[in-house]
Amino acid sequence: MPADVPALPTAELHVHIEGTLEPELAFRLAERNGVRLRHAGLEELRRAYSFSDLPSFLDLYYELTAVLLQPRDFTDLAEAYLATAAAQGVRHAEVFVDPQAHLGRGVPLEVVLDGLAEAFRTAEERHGLSARLIVSFLRDRDPAEAEALVPRLRPWHDVVIGVGLDSAEVGFPPEPFARAYALAADDGLHRVAHAGEEGPPEYVVGALDRLGVERIDHGIRSLEAPALVARLAEEQIGLTVCPLSNVALRCVDDLADHPLRRMLQAGLRATVNSDDPAYFGGYLHDNTAAVTRALGLTADERRVLAENSFRTSFLPEPEQARHLAELAATGA
Ligand code: HPA
Ligand code: ZN
């Protein structure tokens, strides 16, 4: 972890648990479960971590889920993320999981959610951070699957606090998921969606207007639409920005061109997050430190990013206030 930029207490609001699968753990789980990976060894797998766009990344991301078969695999995956996140200043995490990716390869929902819940329910005592799950629907699959999934989440509502929308974006607008989101709202779940990562600003508008989302994941392409920027600023919609992901998936050419600072200057409620840290070169603070160096972010801007993370989280108000007070006490 870089030492020259201090790690502030922060909430992580955009990280996919499957995207925290480090190559070493993938091989360990493959061996434990007798799964053969296509890659001969660690070095070869690491070399595969080079992507041209979102779909090229998703191919490997879904392929490696093959090693996750038993509840304890999911528990071990979550434990590893929680330990690393805590060491990077994360005090609260709202973590995506893609149940359809596992159901589709014959792994039952109980295996996934019981396994993750085991680690999430004890995160506070074991790692000093609170952690909740957001179940993401796969936007490149039939929306009827998403609708069927919503009532099945009820046994885990103590840890599953919301629904999201991820996977291949271009060509998969948000509107067909309106019914799934309405069902989730009826069940008291929060709602977020990936939009404006590779897809156009219209997908951000669609997610807000048709899905009723409370925040937008990525949203960087919103900057192409001035009226949308004005609306996001006016309504203070949270945007979970993932700088290293944007470069790794070539949504942004170079970190020095990343729009994060422009987003802050436009009055948008942006936060920094890691997305798929095992694949994109770093966890939360690695992202903050890298973008700080590339853009020359000031200490004030970093404090605002950390404040935004708690204000944009789904933590109850008193919990947000407690974290904001801790942040203020650091003198940042
Ligand atoms: N975008 C869309 N879907 C995803 C991502 C992402 O960055 N990571 C995992 N699923
Ligand atoms: Zn994401």
For 216-246, what is each residue's pLDDT tens digit? 999 999 999 999 999 999 999 999 999 999 9
Mutate to test the pocket of ligand 1, among 54, 64, 100, 239 (most ligand atoms within 8 A of CB): 54
- The answer to whether position 19 is within a domain reads yes
| Count of Cβ atoms closer than 10 Å to residue 105 Cβ | 12
Produce one character per residue of 221-240: b if its CB has 16 or more CB atoms within 10 Å, e if not.
bbbebeebbeebeeeebbbb
- Options 12, 79, 197, 198, the catalytic residue: 197
**Beta-sheet strands, E only, within 8-151:** 10-16, 90-97, 130-138
Pick the residue whose CA is nearest to atom 3 on ligand 1: 167
- The answer to whether position 325 is within a domain reads yes
Mutate to test the pocket of ligand 1, among 57, 198, 241, 252 (most ligand atoms within 8 A of CB): 57
Q: What is the pLDDT of residues 250-286, one digit of tens each?
A: 999 999 999 999 999 999 999 999 999 999 999 999 9
- The answer to whether position 136 is within a domain reads yes
> What is the average per-residue pLDDT within 87-95?
98
Residue 163: pLDDT band with limits 50, 70, 90: very high
pTM for the full predicted model: 0.98
> What is the average per-residue pLDDT within 29-37?
97
The span from the CA of 211 to the CA of 5, in Å, is 37
**Ligand number, closest to the Cα atom of 196:** 1
197 catalytically annotated: yes
The ligand 1 atom nearest the CA atom of 167? 3
328 CA distance to ligand 1 middle (Å)? 32
- The answer to whether position 95 is within a domain reads yes
- The answer to whether position 163 is within a domain reads yes
Q: What is the pLDDT of residues 119-148, one digit of tens each?
A: 999 999 999 999 999 999 999 999 999 999
- The answer to whether position 8 is within a domain reads no
217 CA distance to ligand 2 middle (Å)? 7
> What is the average per-residue pLDDT within 106-129?
98
Q: What is the mean pLDDT of the chain?
A: 97
> What is the average per-residue pLDDT within 309-316?
98
Residue 3: pLDDT band with limits 50, 70, 90: low
The ligand 1 atom nearest the CA atom of 136? 10
pLDDT value of position 295: 98
Mutate to test the pocket of ligand 1, among 20, 197, 246, 251 (most ligand atoms within 8 A of CB): 197
- The answer to whether position 49 is within a domain reads yes
Record the tokens describing residue 97, joined without a space: 């999981």
Residue 315: pLDDT band with limits 50, 70, 90: very high
**Angstrom distances, CA of residue 140 to CA of 13, 55, 97, 133, 186:** 22, 11, 16, 21, 24
> What is the average per-residue pLDDT within 49-76?
97
The CATH code of the domain that includes 235 is: 3.20.20.140
CA atoms within 13 A on the CB side of 275: 27
pLDDT at 1 over 80: no
Q: Which domain holds residue 181?
A: 13-329
Domain count, the chain: 1
The span from the CA of 238 to the CA of 27, in Å, is 36
- The answer to whether position 281 is within a domain reads yes
Radius of gyration of the chain (CA): 18
Helix/strand/coil for 103: helix
pLDDT at 4 over 90: no
> What is the average per-residue pLDDT within 210-220?
98
Residues 6+ apart with CB under 8 A from 92: 11, 12, 129, 130, 131, 310, 313, 315, 319, 323
pLDDT at 90 over 90: yes
> What is the average per-residue pLDDT within 285-300?
98
